[in-house]
Chains A and B, each alone.
Chain A
Amino acid sequence: MDDVILKVSNVGKDYVLGTVTGETLKDAVKRQANKKTGKLHNESFTALNDVSFEVKRGETLGIIGSNGAGKSTLLKLISRITSPTRGKICINGKVASLLEVGTGFHPELTGRENIYLNGSILGMTMKEIDSKIDSIIAFSECGRFIDTPVKRYSSGMYVKLAFSVAVHLDADILIMDEVLAVGDVKFQHKCLKKMREIATQENKTILYVSHNMGTVRRLCQRCIILDHGTLVFNGDTEEACDRYFGNESVKTEKFVDFSDYVRPGWLGREDVRLISAEYENEDSEITGTEELEIKLKWRVLKDVVKVGVRVEINDQEERAFATKVFYNLIEGAPGDTGESVIKLDLSQVKNGEYKTFYTVFAMEQFGEGADLDCVKGLDIVIHREEHEDSRLNWHNSAWGNIELM
């Protein structure tokens, strides 16, 4: 109990949409006038909603989520840059936030001066910096240039110097937002090693935000996933990564449920949501010339017309090699649900196990489609008995997965 170093309870944050920024007196007067007539100038946007979690001393916690999920907002709140609209954050210890490397670097100052400046901005005292300066300079690999103004540095050197200051911070909680996405591979590796060292040997807590699952896997013991401002997962890193990649859906060979599926971050719209998919065939494997029948259940969230579904067939490396498009499958008003059975003729696809994606799209002008939903679908297993002596044994890896007719 006593080693809980950070406790976030029911935290929420609202932002005002529109231009409250850079408002002139005239706008303010106008807004006051609008208030009387009951017309609201701006609406608010909830960036974070009811997020709660705890972090123990010495833990490394990964925070993952797609763009706009609220990761940066959460870090800003924890590092006290802005305050929460609701809820409370309790911290036991010193926090150092690295939402960006080289915060406060001044181009006119030399490397050494900037170490002192940046270090003190991040909360180090003069004495601490004095005692660590040699090690910082050594780590940064900028020894020869340390008394040159940083405006003459290459961007790589700049970043290396900045990161060196950061890893020498003597804080109980280190907050890092994507900062490792800098420097060359060798330096990144060095930073990662140093960070793991900090966490394990010096018993410090690290909150790490990244889209790079590789580094999250290597650094973090535990992860939380944010989705549209709410916390959707809190637990083991491997499981979190799987969920983030969308492998978590309840899935058998013939049926998949999409209701808990975390949609990919690039998806901008949610007009239609797929609920489930099921194979209508008796057997889950394709063994002959039969067509694959898929029953898709869907729910409409906004008025839509002329919405279709693409079934993209991928190989094991998740490279799409064939796609079947079904036009005008879905139509309806918000709240409508329905199901469609689609048929795939896979006779040209050779034996193998394939992954699929079901993408719902709306037709727009000039033949462009806007994707409304995208889920990982049921696997396709094709296993035909083909041993005619007159035909070649098919080698998928060399010839591809399709034999043209």
Chain B
Amino acid sequence: MDSKWQVEIDGKPKLWNFNLRELWQFRSLIWMLYKRNYSVQYKQTVLGPFWMIFGVVFNTGIFTLVFGYVGNMDSDGIPYFLFCLSGNIIWTLFASCFLGNTRVLMENAYLFGKVYFPRLAVPVANGLLNMMKCLIQLVVCAGVWAYYLIRGDVVFTGLPLLGMIPLLLLSSFMGTSLGMIISSLTVKYRDLGHVAGIGVQGLMYVSPVLYPVSQLSPILKRIVYLNPMSAFVEAFRYCLTGTGNIYWPGMVYGVVFSIVITMIGLILFGKTEKNFVDIV
């Protein structure tokens, strides 16, 4: 007789609180949240979405100047600007998915305290927006890539280009899930919010965004590959430009890490969302 109820609410803690079908029912909401995030960011700006690419291009320019020209950093035989840009794009996707979600519960506590919808909709919408930004950055990257291709500085890799898609998806999943974990914990321990910002910045230097792994000593190499993003960054660059290599143990590590982190993220988020309104 109990089974006739569509929704049952009780206080029993459930480990797996993730309901994909419910999330799908709220797909309109995800789309609206995505649109809100997008349009709110560029309301009353003249250049609008241009600002999405400006940050990455400017950053890459600075890095190229500092490391490429002044520091004379090795770049596996391709122009340093393209080398750095490709690393930067996948790293920025990861970092923005992560940082965009570290405060997702706290920032939306007001909304969550007033109305019910699957809380997961918000991080998913955040992730979507960051993927969109990444797509636009890729267009710029494609332009730069084409320029060097015509000049003959890089080779056309062909099929591996498609490998960029799963790499980007994995990175955004990893970033979003890590962000969700941090956001679940910051509900109670706000210290973590501060740690996250600094941590992700530091982590970038422990990944081959700015330098090729081939230049490192074996010990340093091992340390760099501890960062689950390292293999992804390298593989991404390989798919685009054909330089560097795909480090398979690192890839397996990255993929397993992504899956585990996504599971933990969903469990923790599902546990926290149930009652966090009371403690936030």
Select A104's contact among B4, B115, B116, B280, beta carbons within 8 Å. Answer: B115
Kindly specify which of B36-44, B131-139, B207-215, B231-239 makes contact with the partner chain.
Answer: B36-44
Of residues 108 through 128 on chain B, the ones whose CB sits less than 8 Å from some CB of chain A are: 111-117
Partner of B10, one of A28, A88, A95, A149: A88
Residues of B within 8 A of A154 (CB): none
Question: Which residues of A sit under 8 angstroms from B277, Cβ to Cβ?
Answer: 76, 81-82
Interface: A183 (CB within 8 A): no
Q: Does B141 contact A (CB under 8 A)?
A: no
Judge whether B114 and A24 touch: CB under 8 Å: no
A99 touches B278 (CB 8 A): no
Instruction: Contact check, B5 vs A24: say whether CB atoms are below 8 A apart.
Output: no
Determine if B220 is an interface residue (Cβ-Cβ < 8 Å).
Answer: no
Also in contact, A81 and B8, with CB within 8 A (given A21-B279, A120-B28): no
CB-CB nearest in chain B for A27: B189
Contact A92 B115 (CB under 8 A): no
Residues in A with CB closer than 8 Å to B39 are 108-109, 113
User: Contact: B190 with A77, CB < 8 Å?
Assistant: no
Chain B residues with CB under 8 A of A104: 111, 114-115
Alpha-carbon gap, A124 to B113, bound state (A): 19
Q: Are B11 and A83 in contact (CB under 8 A)?
A: yes
CA distance A105 to B277 in the complex (A): 19
Cβ of B28 and Cβ of A125 under 8 Å apart?
yes
Q: Is the CB of B36 within 8 A of A117?
A: yes
Complex contacts, A125 vs chain B, CB 8 Å? 28
| Given A82-B275, A106-B36, A126-B31; A99-B11 close (CB under 8 Å) | no
Partner of B190, one of A24, A78, A80, A97: A24
Q: Once bound together, how far apart are the Cα atoms of A328 and B120, in whole Å? A: 61
In the bound complex, how far is the Cα of B9 from the Cα of A78, in angstroms? 8
Shortest C-beta distance, B230 to chain A (Å), equals: 29
Q: Let me know if B32 and A120 touch, CB within 8 A.
A: yes
State whether the Cβ of A91 lies closer than 8 Å to any Cβ in chain B. yes
Q: Mask for A68-112, Cβ within 8 A of B = 1, else 0?
A: 000000001111111111111111110101011001101011000
Instruction: Check if A15 sits within 8 Å of B36, measured CB to CB.
Output: no
Task: Flag whether A25 is at the interface (Cβ < 8 A).
Answer: yes
Known: A7-B5, A90-B8. 16 other contacts (CB 8 A): A78-B9, A80-B7, A81-B116, A82-B274, A83-B9, A87-B10, A88-B10, A90-B7, A92-B4, A104-B114, A104-B115, A106-B36, A108-B39, A120-B29, A120-B33, A121-B117
Chain B residues proximal to chain A, CB less than 8 Å = 2, 4-11, 26, 28-29, 31-33, 35-36, 39-40, 43-44, 111-117, 188-191, 274-275, 277-280
Task: Name 14 A/B residue pairs within 8 A (Cβ), A-sorted.
Answer: A7-B5, A24-B189, A28-B189, A77-B9, A79-B115, A79-B116, A80-B7, A82-B275, A85-B11, A88-B10, A95-B116, A106-B36, A108-B39, A121-B111
Binding site for B on A (CB under 8 A): 7, 15-16, 20-25, 28, 76-93, 95, 97, 99-100, 103-104, 106, 108-109, 113, 116-117, 120-126, 129, 149
